[in-house]
């Protein structure tokens, strides 16, 4: 049995610059940042100078009121993004797809803020103060589980724990399921809610966060720029609906783009630092291109992992140059406006990559005023760049050396989305 083509029919996002792919793309093109100082009275005041805060969401809009007593924000954001993605795809389980032929792979770090608050409660009130709803509120698989419960998804279900690569890997593994015929449709993505004091403090103490930008929060995340001095934490969620082109055509669904290929490797170098030689990251890109059956010359745009860290950006630039050689495509990074949404970044950045492909408009990296010579690439700066392209790549790299590259191509469905 030959592998089936896989297309994206629905996208849902929650970010600091808006709750749609179009909002994120517009923010990149217009230079509209989602980064800000913590609001007055916020628990992060004193822990962070700047972050990418998502919108407030009433949990009762996505869950029955009795079930919202201890539900972490990451679950709520996952459910909102899933609701928008399912609506965008025009998909109803049972009507459009057999409940056992649809899968869900939704990842995330889990509800660490909820766990921390319950530890404090136990310290203050004793063991009887701990909520019996703690586990369903904070386990990392609960984004996937709650989506399955909400929509009656009874097929394969999983959650991936590859740190900042988890969202992109969820898309890759979903592609594998559809290609193999194990599922006709997969709801996939990631949700992350890292904006609470303890996690902020550990990033601060590791000197991983941007410093000295309290006067200019919008300028704090500056991937590939000589003045970059750390990442900016952000929160958010991204959910895609993937399905076989055959299934999409049968129900009259339009595709945004095909997932043409993907690659996965591990640096096997260090728990947190990237390999400065970019050996495994470049191999990851090569594998993705080979899986898509294309050459470096066929890629017209690359959305970089681009975290705004000294080591990370330089290592990624080395990997890109190594993988593409003289045919390296134009590059930009979404994290300049959203901050680093950990695993959810890979889904939001894939959405931007898809819209760039469909619109023939490549978004710039904001704040890239003085490109670092160590990050010598064809950077898109200042303004969007028009370009008619057939394929685009999105990179996601995570702590532990996890590397994921996704290749997107023009949709092969009979009906297509303008994006």
Which residues participate in catalysis according to the annotation? Answer: 164, 305, 340
Q: 330 with 359: CB under 8 angstroms?
A: no
Q: How far is CA 170 from the centre of its chain?
A: 10
Nearest one of 353, 415, 6 to 185, comparing CA atoms: 6
Record the tokens describing residue 238, joined without a space: 């991204």
What is d(CA 117, CA 139) in angstroms, rounded to the nearest whole number? 14
Place of tokens 């003289």: 326
Q: 24 exposed, middle or buried (CB, 10 Å; 0-12, 13-18, 19+)?
A: buried
Record the tokens describing residue 193, joined without a space: 């809610």
């Amino acid at each position: 049995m030959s592998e089936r083509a896989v297309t994206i029919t629905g996208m849902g996002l929650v970010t600091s610059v808006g709750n749609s792919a179009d909002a994120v793309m517009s923010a990149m093109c217009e230079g509209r940042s989602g980064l800000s100082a913590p609001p007055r009275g916020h628990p992060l005041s004193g822990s962070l100078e700047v972050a990418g805060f998502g919108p407030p969401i009433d949990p009762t809009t996505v869950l029955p009121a009795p079930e919202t007593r201890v539900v972490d924000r990451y679950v709520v954001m996952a459910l909102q993004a899933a609701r928008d993605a399912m609506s965008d795809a025009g998909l109803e389980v049972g009507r459009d797809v057999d409940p056992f032929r649809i899968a869900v792979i939704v990842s995330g770090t889990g509800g660490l803020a909820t766990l921390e608050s319950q530890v404090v409660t136990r310290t203050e009130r004793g063991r009887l103060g701990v909520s019996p709803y703690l586990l369903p509120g904070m386990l990392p698989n609960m984004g996937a589980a709650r989506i399955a419960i909400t929509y009656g998804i009874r097929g394969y279900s999983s959650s991936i724990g590859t740190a900042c690569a988890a969202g992109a890997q969820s898309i890759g593994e979903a592609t594998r399921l559809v290609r193999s015929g194990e599922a006709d449709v997969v709801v996939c993505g990631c949700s992350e809610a890292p904006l609470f004091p303890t996690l902020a403090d550990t990033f601060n103490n590791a000197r991983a966060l941007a410093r000295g930008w309290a006067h200019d929060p919008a300028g704090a995340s500056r991937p590939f720029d000589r003045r970059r001095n750390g990442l900016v934490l952000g929160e958010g969620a991204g959910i895609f609906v993937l399905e076989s082109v055959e299934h999409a055509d049968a129900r009259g669904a339009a595709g945004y783009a095909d997932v043409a290929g993907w690659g996965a490797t591990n640096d096997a170098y260090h728990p947190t630092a990237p390999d400065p030689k970019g050996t495994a990251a470049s191999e990851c890109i090569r594998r993705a291109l080979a899986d898509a059956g294309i050459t470096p010359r066929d890629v017209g745009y690359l959305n970089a992992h681009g975290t705004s860290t000294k080591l990370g950006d330089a290592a990624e630039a080395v990997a890109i140059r190594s993988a593409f050689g003289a045919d390296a495509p134009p590059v930009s990074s979404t994290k300049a406006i959203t901050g680093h949404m950990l695993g959810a970044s890979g889904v939001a950045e894939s959405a931007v990559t898809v819209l760039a492909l469909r619109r023939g408009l490549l978004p710039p990296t904001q704040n890239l005023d003085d490109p670092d010579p160590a990050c010598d690439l064809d950077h898109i700066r200042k303004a969007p760049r028009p370009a008619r392209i057939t394929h685009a790549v999105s990179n996601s790299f995570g702590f532990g050396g996890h590397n994921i590259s996704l290749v997107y191509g023009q949709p092969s469905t009979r009906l297509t989305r303008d994006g």
